[in-house]
Structure 1
Amino acid sequence: MKLLKTYAEKCVRCGACMAACAKAYFKEEDPELSRIRVSDVGNMPNLNVCNQCGACIEVCPTQALERDKNGVVQLRKDKCTSCMMCVGYCPTASMFFNAKKQSQPFKCIACGLCAKACPTGALEIIG
């Protein structure tokens, strides 16, 4: 299974990963449009990203979420009704939504752009 592995101990909270992700998918460097979120939890950064667990697949009433050949959970926009069941159910809070930019939820698809942008190696695509 392909996924994005995080190393919080290497993260310097620079935001390069969020900027690269948002720029690639929304053409803006707005962290609220990123599929990865970096925040502070105590003295350590929290890198919140989809771990491809698939829990969202089970709750989607229209079967708009499915695994691709690499094991990555993908959203089929043609089937999504924007009910937000996946956003509410995600056990890692890694399914995001931004009503100003898109009517459907979005999540990490392990594309690796954030890992390439990270100057410290805090992110890595594995699988």
Structure 2
Amino acid sequence: MKYLAKDNSKCIQCGNCETVCSKTYFKEDNYEKSCIQINKEGDPEINVCNQCGECIDICPVVAIKRDKLGVVRIDKKICVGCFMCVGFCPQLSMRQHDDYIEPFKCIACGLCVKECPTGAIYIDEKSDDEARELKLDEVFRR
């Protein structure tokens, strides 16, 4: 299962990751519309979805599912915009913006990885066993 891993100690708070994300998915340079967010006050802290899947269980209309690669995705055709997933995300990485009815999140596309000049963000994978364990946890939580 692929996900974005991070090394906060390498982050220089340049904002390249936020820019490429918001420009790619929302066609504008607006960090508030980026699936990845960088704390710019004090020490750098990269906030991005780790694909834990907690949001899957909380969604009342089952609009959030894990795809074949293990990435947690929101089906915008099913989502009713209740934002329960935003409120219950343990990583605080499920995003919302007043311009959009549905929440949005990182899908581990890797564009930010290519833009990061220091390697603070990188694609990593959980082993099949770790991924299987996450999926089993989802089944038993329902």
Short-chain TM bin: over 0.9
2:122 paired with 1:124:
yes
Pairs aligned (count): 125
Q: Deviations over 1:47-76 (max 9, x none)?
A: 000011100000000000000011110001
Query: 1:99: how far off?
Result: 1.4
Superposed CA RMSD in Å reads 0.9
Query: 1:40: how far off?
Result: 3.9
Residue 114 of structure 1 is matched in structure 2 by 112
Query: 1:103: how far off?
Result: 1.0
Residue 96 of structure 2 is matched in structure 1 by 97
Q: Which amino acid is 2:124 matched to? A: I
Q: Percent identity?
A: 52
In structure 2, what is the Cα distance between the partners aligned to 1:80 and 1:52? 18
Residue 73 of structure 1 is matched in structure 2 by 72
Q: Which has the higher helix share?
A: 2
Name structure 1 gaps, 5 residues minimum: none
**TM-score computed with the length of structure 2 as normaliser:** 0.85
- CA radius of gyration, larger in: 2
Name structure 2 gaps, 5 residues minimum: 126-142
Give 4+ residue runs of structure 1 displaced > 3 Å after superposition: none
**TM-score computed with the length of structure 1 as normaliser:** 0.95
